[in-house]
Structure 1
Amino acid sequence: MNNLNDPPRWNIQPEQGGGEAGAGGGHQWNYALLVPMLGLAAFRWIWTRDSQNEIQKVKVQYDKDVSVIKSKMEARYRDTLTESRRAVAMLELELEKEQQRVKGYQQALVSHSQHLIQERKKLEQEREALNDEKQKLVKSGAAGAALRDALEREAEWHQRASATLRELEGLLVERQNAYCSLIQPRDQRLEMEKNMLLKVVKNPVAAELGLESDLQDIFKRDKHCADLMNMDKRKNGSLMWVYLKYWQLQITLQKHKRAEEAIFDGRIQGHGK
């Protein structure tokens, strides 16, 4: 067995003897240091080369991944941009259609209002003509007495018609307020409109005046609302007020026509006969 206190010759000794110390001992020590240093250098070179290869592979793979992600992001951006432009184009088209529709409604409302104004002027002219005719009849003695009797008989009908219009005016004010309200449900307004139509259909006076179609026209066309700070309900609506004035003239004219028909039909006789 090897003696650890006296190792073989391959164990490096700093000095082997006096004669050999100066000759070969130093070279053995230098060689012993050179071998591990060369091994370490070789290991470092191999490790560095493998590390660089691994780093290069990682860099190449990273560049590929970044390129793929970049391509996907660019494609997604182009798709999103295309969709956004398409959506903007569609919104612009819808906006233009709505603007044209509103413009058409406004023109129709103006035209309809002008038509009603003309009708009202016509009714006023007819009323003035009837008033002139009434004055002539009043001055003619018996015919005048007959006309007075006929007008008195139609006064009750006129009062009922006027009361119907006053009630309808209040309902229209509330309906228009519901239309202009930002918090009142739409279903509530539709229910109000339905009840109003049923009321005028069942009311003989309203049916005689033909108010049902006029109300439907108001519900369809009157979209006027006062400003948001308005607290006066009667400032809402535009077409409805034109119709109310038209209806008032209509019942006045109808009163005189009913009286005239009563005289011509012989239901009213003059006091002189």
Structure 2
Amino acid sequence: MPRPKRVLSGGAAPAQSGPADGGVRGTLRSRAPPPRYISMNNLNDPPNWNIRPNSRADGGDGSRWNYALLVPMLGLAAFRWIWSRESQKEVEKEREAYRRRTAAFQQDLEAKYHAMISENRRAVAQLSLELEKEQNRTASYREALISQGRKLVEEKKLLEQERAQVMQEKRQVQPLRSAYLSCLQREENWQRRARLLLKEFEAVLTERQNIYCSLFLPRSKRLEMEKSLLVRASVDPVAADLEMAAGLTDIFQHDTYCGDVWNTNKRQNGRLMWLYLKYWELVVELKKFKRVEEAILEK
């Protein structure tokens, strides 16, 4: 391709140099301003091109120059189109990946949300069930307390009625209490005399049974003691109240028990006499209360 010629700003081509115009060139070079280079042609404005096609080459139409400029432009356009297409593919790819990541993240969030909702619902259901149980338990406790309170009120009323009745009976019995205490005091005196009498009879009966079991003591002494006991049981009013004479006769006739030969404890002799002594003590206690009862009833 022929190289384009440089032109001045006026658009005329420079004159051919030669030896004849050396002085003129020097004069023009000293006077004229330095040449100014113009940029390449604007392909969008052909009338203002500063580089004209070479009309003498290839038939003079300048098509080679036009194609030479068109090929880089087409290549640039093709590169830009390919680059734009690849970029668009990358953008679409990244967009699809972003959409997938967003969808997966959204699904994960929705799954977590639904799981949390389900867990919260289960927790709410469990708490509701426990709350209902507690409410039922509280209601049952309240009913039990109300019932217990009513029962206590009724018992209090009954106790107050019983207390009033007891106080009334106490007021009624108060006069009898003094009489009872005085009668009891009098009968306790009688009881002391009866116990002293039983102690004396116990000592004599123990000695009499010892004589009965002895091989050396005379039988006459035992008979005298028995006669003395029978006389006293008949004469003494306390012994007469206890009816001791019949018991003594029974002892003298049937109490034949003795300890072993080498026995030295007098209280181990006899059996029936000890039963009668215990019986007489109980009779004394019984007669005391009977006499008190009779005295109160008489009043």
TM-score after normalising by structure 2? 0.42
TM-score after normalising by structure 1? 0.46
**Higher Cα Rg, which structure:** 2
